[in-house]
Structures are given as C-alpha cells and as structure tokens.
Structure 1
C-alpha cells in the first residue's frame, strides 16, 4: 500500500510530508488518501494541542527522575500503556517521549525529565516505557538525540564528546530503545555534536542510528531545531517541526532540482513518514483529532502507587512511619505544603485533572483534621506568584488595540502561552490582547507585581503603569529564552480594597534564531519576611511533629535554563534550621528535580525525597509518611555533598557550562557514581541509595557458570524479608574490570532486580550479564572490547553498600563492532 501511494506522489507531495502542517500536526495528501496525524507532549502526561499552561485537562503522572527512582520497569510499562490512552484522548498518534539524556551536572534544568545518571538503568526504563506506549498503537519518540545535558545556549552550543564516551554513556539508552523496543520515532536535539547540528549529523542519524542499529522509523527535529534543507535530509532528518515549512517545502524541492538532494533521498524519507502513519493505524481509520479530558480511576491509582514507589527515604532515625493515632498536634510547614508541586516546567507541563497538595493529603489521611496546623514560613518562587481569578481577555485583530475586540473570553489564570489563538481571524504576528482583572488584597502593605513576556507588554494598576515589559525589552531566561527576565514593580495596597489591573500585550518581531513564541505571565504577591518565619517556628514549637515541605518547583526545574547552584532557593535552609531547633521531631520532605546540598541534614530526624510525583502528590506523601505503603524509591542519581564534588563542575568553564559556543565533556565516562567511586569522592547519598521500613537478609550468590562464555552468566540471590512489614529490596550487579589500555570506572552497573516481599517471604533476584557487559569501547578498533582476564562481579544494595564480590574469569577476548 505504501509503495503504491509513493508511486503516485509527485515530488512536491513527497516533500510536503517532510514538514509539519502546524505546531502539532503533519501534512495530509488528500488526493491520495494520506491523512494528517497529531503529535503531543509529553513524558508525564498527554497535553494535546493546547497551551503549555492551559487547555484540555489530562492525567499528570510522575516526572522521569521519580520513575527512575522507582527502578521498576514493570510499573513504568503500565504507565506507558496509560499514557497511550491519554494520547488517544487528545486525538494524538505520536507521544513526544521519553527523554533519556543523562544526569551529568546536577544543574540541568531538565534533569527532572531524565531518568538517571546511569545509561543501563535509563535504557531499561525507556524500553519499558516505549513498550507500554507502542503496545497501544501510539508511537513513542525517544529524545533528545544526543548530547542535550544542559539548557545553556542549547539551540547553538556544541556538545564536544569523544566517541568512547558517547558509546558507553550517552548513546546506549537510544540504542536499547531501537534494538529492543522498536521505537517508532527519534527526536534530534537542538545542540551541535562536535561542531555539527545533530539535525544535520550524518554520522549520528544515518551511520549509527540507521546503519548500525537498524532503525527504520522517522527522525524529527526538536521544535525549530532544524536549520537547512539539503543538509538535514541528506543527514537523515525526515520531519521538520513545527510547520508550516521553513527550510523544507519549496526550498527542498529546489534543492532536488539543483542536484543537492537525490530524489531517492526524499522518497525514502517520505516512505518512512507513510510507514509511521501505517504503524499508528492512520490508514485503517481516519484519525479523530478531537481532544477530551479522560479521568480514569485506574490512572489515579497508578499515579498514586508510582508516587510512593519513587519516594526515596534518605534519612530516618526511627521517627517514620508516623503513627496516625498517637499524634495530637502536627505542624505542616513550608512553601510546598499547601501548594501542589506536581510537575516540572517547560514543554512537559500539562493541565492536570486535579492536584492534591501535601496539606490536603495529610488532612485526608487523618480522622482528626483539627490536629493539623499550617504555616508557610517563606517563599522559594523564582517568579512572582501567578495571578489567579477571573480575567477577561479582549483580542484585537491588529496591533494597537484598535476598534472593537474580535474575540472575548474569560480565564482564571494570568499566564498565556499561545500555540493557537482563539479565533482563526487572528494572526500570531499581528494581533493585540488586553487582559482585565480585579485584585483585592487580604493584607495591607507593599505588594509586588511581576511580569515576563515573549512579546511586548505593560501592566497597569488602577491605570498607573506598574510593570514595563516594552521599553528596553531584552531577551532573558523565560519561555525557552524567548521572553525577558521578569520585570517587577512594588505598590502599597490596602486590604479589602478593589484594584483594577490591566495587562496589554502585543507580539514582537521574529527572534533572530527563528523561534517566535507569543506568551505572557503576570502575578502579584505580598513578600514574606522575618515575621513569617517566626510564625512557622511557633507553629512547629507547639506540635508533636513538624513536617517541613521544601524544595523547588517548575519555575526552577524547567526547560530553558539551568539551576544557579545546588542549594535550596530563598530562605528555606534558614527555615529548616529554625524549625528543627524549635521541634526535635522535624521531618523534611523534599521536592526537587535532582540533588541538593543539605547543610542542615544532621539537625532533622528524617528526610524524604518525593520529586514531582504527579497529581496524587499529597496522597502519595501521606501514604508514605503514615506507613500505609513503604517508600519504594532508590536514588537514580548520586547526591554529592557539594556541587564542586560533581564530575562536570571542575572550575573549567569549557567543561561546564561551556565557553565560546562549546561545552567539552571533559570528565569522559566518569559521570555520577563512576566519578565518585573511581576518584574516591564520598557522596552525601550514593547512587541506588534508599531506606525502607523493614529489613532483609541476602543469601550467598549462585552463578550459572564459573567463567564467562558467549551465553553469559546468571547470578541468583535469595532475599528474605525478616521484618514485620511488607517492603521492597533492590539488588544491583556491577562489573569491575581488569586493567585495560584505557582507564575504566571502578565499577559499572550491568543488571538489577527489585523485589517486593511480604514479611517472612523469600524471593530470588535473577541477574544476567553477557560478554558485552565486560567491555569498554575501543575507539581505535571501533568496537566494544573486553580483554581475557579476571573480572569481578559486585553485588550491592547501592553503589557504596557492597554485599558480595565474586571473581569471574573470562578466558576469551571479546571484540564486537557496533553494527551487529
């Protein structure tokens, strides 16, 4: 069927398939019955074609680092299946996920979107995710291929990575997705790789991806991430996104006519696009692009379970789990207590069906809600609190707010990120919008209004210009680097009085990099100070236990910018110190997208890392704190004692964050625990670390063979739950290699098994390794090499908790090229 359609297509029709029609759909060829299909973000929920900050509601699942902490491929496969259903509810056939870039610096703004610092763990979870999604007939899109481990200058920076490091650390998750899961789509990254844009990188997209690994799906650009006609398609990029065509269309037709692109190259790319449509069933049934909100009981239960499975108990001196019946007074404190921080920022955002805050979850878990007191203490937000309430929006056909509004609507949040304007008569490059709202402060005093805009905007309070986002506008870090840094203005307000707030917005001229977004965000807040911290301390002092919810949110952990450091923002560290001094029973619950420094660790009784676990946040927190379930998570990323202990933070700007348009991966393969173990840098918490509520006994390991062979070796370990509670144990298998002609890490993860056991129950961890698991990549030979000799198998509960070391001879050398 596909070849029959291809034979009838003109060159222009073939080329039309190779660019999007708009932001989210492909181009149909109605003459030949070729339909359009829709793609959708993202990794923790299917948003559909709506705004990043609004639109049809969807189920919000945990972010990737929380899934990485679960170490549970089976659960993640279930999540993939659920996400495929959510994609269908948005009329989408392609899900733009998963993200499998590696945790490198600890500061990456999208650290939360990635599974782990380890390629083996990342690959296992990605395979499970893809299998779940694609079993339902939805295409998964693994991204970002490759070298996108930072958001700094990401559209242009060159990630300079040697081939050995690529083959051992950064490429394996993509390879596993292709070879094992049959992923249907790959998204190229924005950055350059060793000087060449990945969207134009023939070695990457054709030699490695297609010829070595046998990939037969499509390669699409990240949005606005392609820069040429001939170079991209000759390299192997099939689909330019978003549409309409910028570097394809007539330019690509001309390139064929001029002999810069072979007609067969266009035909092959068009064929892959048609194959994708066939694989997702678009030819069998015309895709219904209608978007619906589908809130399923089974999705709610799965999200809640995943939240607990990814929760990592970092410290516990016995205070957890809390007994529901023995606590008369509980203090719930902190900037993340009453507000549900359920996801990171950027393109992963969705409009969740609902969001349960920790305070709400704890109240629901306890029969005596009157025993709970709450205090905020301090703020940690990077941007002023977004305005919430009735907002009337008037849209005008041209700039300048001329004449009568063409369209009027009412919304409830002061953030707009327009992929599609509400009327087809409005042009994205030439319209204006006026937002009108009323604000009634609860307290008298100074209030701060803030606004950031991709475009030009001004904010007025009672007709007086308060925030100027027009004069002197310059690009900053918001909205993927297309908006200005937040502009602020302070106003003295009177409690109970009604103030008229107006925002006027117009789009700006096209940005020089071709990314032209239209967005505005505005808000107002009354700053917190010493009195608010003291109020939180008093709340803690009068309680039996203080539950302190701190961390970050999606303004910090977001696409578009990296973190400034690894400390808690705002006055949160001060809040922890003072609350802990007032109440000896202080439990800290963290929500971050990666590691943080903890100078206060010795002053609190327990620390629970919850990440951003989706819409059931509060319920999952309560489940763990009160022992209804155990914290099932183990760290997928090393937590250093200090940022300077990270392998990428060397003081050399060329290594991080980059210099003169290049970022050099100078640490080579020594990322995460590979660095800490090999360089003897003691971490705060090691890779794979996590506590539970019960105890386990491990048997002596059993091996299926006394030496390595082509069939591999199976290691079996019996694990018994010797405690009085159900719980889970993680068994990790590392390989330690003999001296080679290149320096190798002290040990490398090669297999793992997570066992859920009832009290008294015994389960078997079955761990298999193959000859390639002993190997490193020999760049001179262009192959994976393992010399004959004596290796060691290290059985561990985490990278620092080694239970058994087993000698394993390998009598034969192993040499395997990448294309096998």
Structure 2
C-alpha cells in the first residue's frame, strides 16, 4: 500500500462508512449507532424502522449477564439488517452523578456490575459477527460542556472505578473497537492522550483492535495519530489526508505509526467479515417475533419493585382501573440523543394494560404534562433550500420531511456550503380546539417562526446555543397565538445555520400545544376517586434523559409529584409506575401502596409493565444506582462547582473512589433506596456463605457459595451480591465494595447455590505511588447481601501476605 492509501484508511469516507480501496480489494464497512438498537445510517428521527431494546440502565438493573449476552446476539442481527458490521456500543461510563443526562445509557454506578455486563454485551454481539465499540474512553460522566471539559481524575479513581469496565471489555471479551470520549482527561483530549490510548490500552492491556474518535471528537493531525487514535470519524477527513501525508514526509510522525493504524483498520474489516462479504446491503426493517419476545422478557426482568404492601400483583377481575399521568398513553421507550431510533412500534403502558381488561374497565386521564419541549407538530415539512444566507435567490433544492423536526448531519444540500445556505420550512396545522396555542422553536442557528404570516417566535438577532441538540441548539423559544378549532394555518420557519460547536450539525424543531391546566388535573383526580385502583404512570422522557444535557434536578418534571399526592389522597389503592433514566425523589412515597421503576424498556414497554403489574412476570430488577432522598445527598453535590458541574473548563473528581453506595456509607447517609435494592413477589431463604480457601495467598481464585431457597409459592429471581470489607488499611478505603454477584431464577421450593469467584484484585486498592494494585495482608470480611444495606450473612478469610500487581501506564507522576 502506498502512504496515501494507508492514510486514506484513517478517516471515514462519510458519516457511517470507512474508506474502500478498490485497487487492493479493500472494502468499506458500515458502522451504526447503538446501544439499545441498531439505527443504521438514518437520522436520529425517522429512517428505517428498527427494534428498540431496553436501555443501558435497565440492563444494569437486570443484573443478568446471560440476558445481556442474549441481547447482544439479537443486536448483531439488528445491525446486519442495517448493513452494519460495527455497533457503537456498549456505553460503560460510570453513573457518578445522579443528574447525568446519559445515565440511562450506562449500566451502573459500580464498576463490577458495569464490567460484568459490558463483557456479556460485547461477547454476545461479537459472537454474532458484529464488532463492539466500547465507549466513551474515558471520564465522560457528565454532558455539560462535554466536548471541551477536562475530567480531572487521579490514578486511583481511574484504576478502581472508571477503567475496569473498559479493561474487562478489552481483556476478557476481546472488544474489536474502543471509542475515545469528547472530553479532556487531566487537561488532554482523550483523542490525543498517549498514556490512555497507547501506554494503557494498547501496550499494557494488549489491545489489538481499533481506536476511533467520537463523531467530530478528533481535533488534530499528528497528536491523535501519535497517541494511538486510529480512525477519525466521521468522514471525509478534516485533520488527516494530505495533512498527515505531509507530516510523515516532513518527519513530524513516523511512517510506522501510520502503518500500525492502517493495520488496525484492516484487522477490524477482517474480523467483521468485510473481505468475505464486501458489499454493504441495503437497510431493512425486519420485525422479528423472537426479538419482540426477548424485548418483552428483558423489559420485565429489568423492572424494579421498589415498594409493595401487598397490592401487587394486581387482581384486575371485576375492578375498575384509572390509568393516570403523562406516561399512561405515551410509550416512553428510550432516552434521547444518538441512542434513539425509529422503532417498529411502541406499546404504551395503558395499551399494555388495556389488552388485559374488558371494555370500560380501564379509563385514562393525563392530568398533567411532563414534556421539556412543546409536543412535536406533526408535519410534513416542505423545505426550500437557498444558496445564500438571506433567503434570496433561486431555490437550489426542495426537500420533503415527514415530521416537524428535521436534522442534517452533513450538508443540507450537495450544492451549497454550510456558510452560504438558508432555508424556509413550511407545514400546515389544524387546531382541534379554539384556544391560545403555544409554539416552541429550537434550531441550530438563527431562526423565526410565523403562523399565517404573523411572527410568533423570533430568535434571529439573539439566538444562542443552549440545552438542545447536543448543546448546539438554543433553549426552546416559545410564543403564543390564539387559533380557532378546524381552521388550518400555515406554519413557516426561516432558518440560517451557525456552527455552534465542533459538531457539524443542523436542525430545526417546531412544537405546539394547548397547555393542560387545573381542569385536566382535577379530572384526573376525580377519575382516581371513582375507580377501584389508581395507577399513576409518571416519570421523564428522552427529552429529559438525553445526550448533550444534564438534568436540572431529581424532582419529577412539572406537577407530577403534586398529581401523585392528590391521586393517593383520592384513592387508597394507588400504585406508581416510574419511567426514568435514573433516580428521582419521592415526597409522596409513604402515601402510595406500591412503586415500580420501569426505566425505558424498549418497544414492548407497555406489555412488560403490564406483565409485572399483573404478576404474569416477576419484577426481576434490582437497582444498579442508588436512589437518594434528595439531590444534596449525592456524591458530587459538595457545594463546590469544581466537583460538579465544573468550573473554568475543569471538573474535579474529588469524590475519588467514593462513588455511589461507597459515598453514602462513608458519609453515613441513608438513601431512599439502596444500591442493589429490589423486592419480589416471592420469598427467599439464604444460608451463610462458604469458601473453599479460608486462607488466600493471591494465587488463583477463591470460590464462594451461597445457598438460596425459594420459600414462597411463586417462581422468582434473586440477586446474590458479594461485598468485600477490608481490614484497617494504610489508605482510606470504602467500608465494603461489590466484587461479584449471581442472578438466580428459582421455582417454588427450589434450592440453588450461587457460585462466585474472587481473585486478588477483589481485595486490592490501587497504590498510585507504587503504580500497583495492592492487597494488604489481613482479615477480610465477605458479605453476602440482597443490597448494599441488606446483609444476609458473612464469612472471614485471611489474605496471608501482601499481594502486589504492578501496572505499566502512569497517568500522573
């Protein structure tokens, strides 16, 4: 291969494919966003339909590696249906903050849970012939200024908390690819971080796969290649190509660095079968019954029964049910951002329950809204693109889009440059009622919205990037206009693009609604009062839990807390179904009979929730993230903005290793619901743990067994969590840390042994001065528990000597 050919491989050809070299028979391969589905090459909205699986936090709550591996296998089939041979997943960042907008995409606050499930996901996906891309490497635990923020993390916290999931995915599961994060790590962009990508990932961990940038997350030529970033995405190249060829010839970087990166691209193509099947097939929407069944089963296994006084499972026979709340008739199936896709279908909670009831047995009422943005106008939008920035001259291209939200990842039209275009988008809207209507406008660049020629929203002169579209779009601007029922109006958006960040992204979004008021609230409460059972479907949506934006707090949006309290006061049989991408506070908890957390469980959401409510399925989930009483209790809420959300371009991980339950135990704070918590519809008896080696010298592993019996009348599942409590140490250590777990499924009367193994690393902390994992000599307590706050038995073992496991890469001198 010529130098130019090698360099050509080191950036994408376009948004989703690599570069082909026909002369040498080197094919292009296609990548697709994940991780809860394979969207293919379409936009974040619309596009070819795809299966929507439970999101990451739901899979984390399943605590079931076998299930996650099975889902990985199904996602391989989904990726292939989109012509993709590499999936940009899984997301294995740690849930450091309770308000991270992307918590829904991550598995857990704990590295043991995350590493175990990441390994399972990668294994299942790659057994299906599709490469996994483990992301985001590393320190992307917040969405605030994520493309520029420096995550300042010491070596110990990196090694004990944030790196283990990546290490397991690479060393145990053999991940084919790793994606660098947008942020800087200790001042250096991760895409240029030689210690991270070269010394640690490739040299110390022996990673033979490919390192790619996050989209537009590469900012330089020589520093990225020198550090070990193999593939710049998306294409066409911005920083490589001729620039890199010139750098090699000038001696600024060696030809061997380029060859190594090119080999890794070729190796990825080979590993996913690109040479054997070089043609990229057209995208297909294949709605497989097996995937439907798997999604429904996984959704139920992820649901956490937080509270139950015996009302669940529900007996629906002869009883009237009120399905209340903003999420009753709306299927909240996924979070927002690059993980979203166009699902085959979406079952709402009310629809799932309605299929199990007779006519007139179930009635619904929203009561309140929970949207962050005005509900999307239906469209279609007819778009005229101009080759000038001022909406003058000839129309160079006409486009038709099905929805009132339009996104462009690359050029809006082939014949116009980003700096030179403007557009006018037109749709028609027919109100269903005579009232004041609120229009909302979001755009990546200056725009205005007109209704029948009247300007309702105008942000041409004071547009600024805000909290939408990955921090590229403005905070939604709103305007009000009186409209008459049945009289159709023209809605027009005039738009000009301004590049707000490194992401070359354009978008407009129009929403409209008549806001719900006190009347709808009162009607919902009266509906509850007149029913035998009231179920409030509350929570958030992908507008709140989304890439590019952290949450404003832990309260339920809008008047939902008020609604739940009012419904509970009106009906003594009130059940709350939450759908969120992370913790919420619950000021009404003692007023309701039961609470379940259903997360975003994919396209079968309503069916999975109904299965658990009625007892057709066991609530198989356990919390993989602590739910606090209040935001102030969480690890990063220290009162110092440098700890979170960051200051002057830096966020300091001063919480160190005391993340999640480790923090609550250190601070003596009782959470609302502890890490690992989850109730069952049956009961379990545990015996004390046993070990095969009460004395451990560091060689091999210790095997721990805990015998568990289902003492109830129903089949059920239990999660045996194994924590290690260290002796007095020369460093401050958490009171205990999860080091292994086992998910058990038991029939009534069945007894099963949970078998878990512990290596020397399970007893170790990271000593930054010695650059080594160290297990001190002494007596350690092994605690078998149903949650971090619910021990079921313990046993002591003796580490008979100091065990030192040295590492090579060092992040700080």
1:3 is matched with: none
Task: Find the aligned partners of 2:248 and 2:220 in 1 and give their Cα distance.
Answer: 13
Q: Select which of 42, 49, 59 maps to 1:50.
A: 42
Q: Is the 8 A contact 2:441 2:457 kept in 1?
A: yes
Q: Select which of 785, 795, 807 maps to 2:796.
A: 807
1:606-621 alignment to 2 at 5 Å?
606-621=594-609
Task: Find the aligned partners of 1:412 and 1:534 in 2 and give their Cα distance.
Answer: 36
1:734 is matched with: 723
CA shift, 1:701, in A, is 2.1
Q: Select which of 290, 299, 302 maps to 2:282.
A: 290
1:673 is matched with: 661
Does 1:538 pair with 2:526? Answer: yes
Q: Is the 8 A contact 2:706 2:784 kept in 1?
A: no
2:268 is matched with: 276
2:191 is matched with: 199
Does 1:601 pair with 2:593? Answer: no
Q: Is the 8 A contact 2:412 2:418 kept in 1?
A: no
Deviations 1:536-561 (A, max 9, x none): 10111100011101111111100111
Moved over 6 A (4+): none
Task: Find the aligned partners of 1:743 and 1:86 in 2 and give their Cα distance.
Answer: 46
CA shift, 1:680, in A, is 1.5
Q: Is the 8 A contact 1:141 1:187 kept in 2?
A: yes
Deviations 1:650-678 (A, max 9, x none): 10111011111111111110000111122
Task: Find the aligned partners of 1:178 and 1:350 in 2 and give their Cα distance.
Answer: 27
- Other structure's SS at 2:355 match: helix
**Which piece of structure 1 moves more, 393-402 or 588-597?**
393-402
Q: Select which of 698, 708, 713 maps to 1:719.
A: 708
Does 1:118 pair with 2:110? Answer: yes
CA shift, 1:389, in A, is 4.3
**Which piece of structure 1 moves more, 398-407 or 586-595?**
398-407
Does 1:151 pair with 2:151? Answer: no
**Which piece of structure 1 moves more, 809-818 or 682-691?**
809-818
1:345 is matched with: 336
Q: Select which of 246, 257, 280 maps to 2:238.
A: 246
1:761 is matched with: 750
CA shift, 1:587, in A, is 0.6
Task: Find the aligned partners of 1:711 and 1:271 in 2 and give their Cα distance.
Answer: 35
Q: Select which of 508, 512, 535 maps to 1:520.
A: 508
Does 1:26 pair with 2:14? Answer: no
1:14 is matched with: 6
2:326 is matched with: 335
CA shift, 1:436, in A, is 2.5
Does 1:180 pair with 2:172? Answer: yes
Task: Find the aligned partners of 2:420 and 2:104 in 1 and give their Cα distance.
Answer: 36
Q: Is the 8 A contact 1:94 1:139 kept in 2?
A: yes
Deviations 1:302-333 (A, max 9, x none): 00011000000100111111012141x11001
2:695 is matched with: 707
1:371 is matched with: 361
Q: Select which of 217, 222, 246 maps to 2:209.
A: 217
Does 1:451 pair with 2:433? Answer: no
Task: Find the aligned partners of 1:420 and 1:562 in 2 and give their Cα distance.
Answer: 26
Q: Is the 8 A contact 2:147 2:183 kept in 1?
A: yes
Task: Find the aligned partners of 2:254 and 2:288 in 1 and give their Cα distance.
Answer: 49
- Other structure's SS at 2:695 match: coil
Task: Find the aligned partners of 1:679 and 1:396 in 2 and give their Cα distance.
Answer: 60
Deviations 1:653-712 (A, max 9, x none): 110111111111111100001111222111110000001100011123222122224122
- Other structure's SS at 1:809 match: strand
Deviations 1:323-359 (A, max 9, x none): 12141x1100101111111100011110111111111
Q: Any gaps of 5 or more consecutive residues in structure 2?
A: none
**Which piece of structure 1 moves more, 382-391 or 291-300?**
382-391
- Other structure's SS at 1:348 match: coil
Q: Select which of 250, 260, 265 maps to 2:252.
A: 260
Distance 1:619 1:481, change over 3 A: same
Deviations 1:735-782 (A, max 9, x none): 011112110000010110111111111111001111221011111111
Task: Find the aligned partners of 1:473 and 1:675 in 2 and give their Cα distance.
Answer: 41
Q: Is the 8 A contact 1:50 1:420 kept in 2?
A: no
CA shift, 1:818, in A, is 2.9
Q: Is the 8 A contact 1:38 1:289 kept in 2?
A: no
Q: Select which of 89, 99, 111 maps to 1:107.
A: 99
2:350 is matched with: 359
Q: Is the 8 A contact 1:786 1:815 kept in 2?
A: yes
- Other structure's SS at 1:130 match: helix
Task: Find the aligned partners of 1:636 and 1:173 in 2 and give their Cα distance.
Answer: 15
2:625 is matched with: 637
Q: Is the 8 A contact 1:378 1:571 kept in 2?
A: yes
1:4 is matched with: none
Deviations 1:223-245 (A, max 9, x none): 11111111111111111111111
CA shift, 1:515, in A, is 2.1
Task: Find the aligned partners of 2:279 and 2:653 in 1 and give their Cα distance.
Answer: 44
CA shift, 1:51, in A, is 0.6
Distance 1:161 1:423, change over 3 A: closer
Q: Is the 8 A contact 1:49 1:419 kept in 2?
A: no
CA shift, 1:798, in A, is 0.5
Task: Find the aligned partners of 2:229 and 2:334 in 1 and give their Cα distance.
Answer: 31
Q: Is the 8 A contact 1:21 1:244 kept in 2?
A: yes
Task: Find the aligned partners of 1:187 and 1:469 in 2 and give their Cα distance.
Answer: 36
Q: Select which of 666, 670, 675 maps to 1:682.
A: 670
**Which piece of structure 1 moves more, 174-183 or 33-42?**
33-42
1:163 is matched with: 155
Task: Find the aligned partners of 1:122 and 1:468 in 2 and give their Cα distance.
Answer: 45
2:457 is matched with: 467
Q: Is the 8 A contact 2:308 2:594 kept in 1?
A: yes
1:267-666 alignment to 2 at 5 Å?
267-327=259-319, 329-366=320-357, 368-396=358-386, 399-401=389-391, 408=398, 410-419=400-409, 424-425=414-415, 429-508=419-498, 510-511=499-500, 513-666=501-654
Task: Find the aligned partners of 1:400 and 1:156 in 2 and give their Cα distance.
Answer: 32
Q: Select which of 73, 79, 83 maps to 1:87.
A: 79
Q: Is the 8 A contact 2:34 2:339 kept in 1?
A: yes
Task: Find the aligned partners of 1:79 and 1:90 in 2 and give their Cα distance.
Answer: 17
Deviations 1:563-607 (A, max 9, x none): 111111111111111111111111111011100111111111111
1:696 is matched with: 684
Q: Is the 8 A contact 1:428 1:518 kept in 2?
A: no
Does 1:129 pair with 2:126? Answer: no
Deviations 1:357-415 (A, max 9, x none): 1111111122x031111111111111111111444344455555556755555443211
Q: Is the 8 A contact 2:688 2:794 kept in 1?
A: no
Task: Find the aligned partners of 1:406 and 1:689 in 2 and give their Cα distance.
Answer: 59
Number of equivalenced pairs: 808
1:226 is matched with: 218
- Other structure's SS at 1:167 match: helix
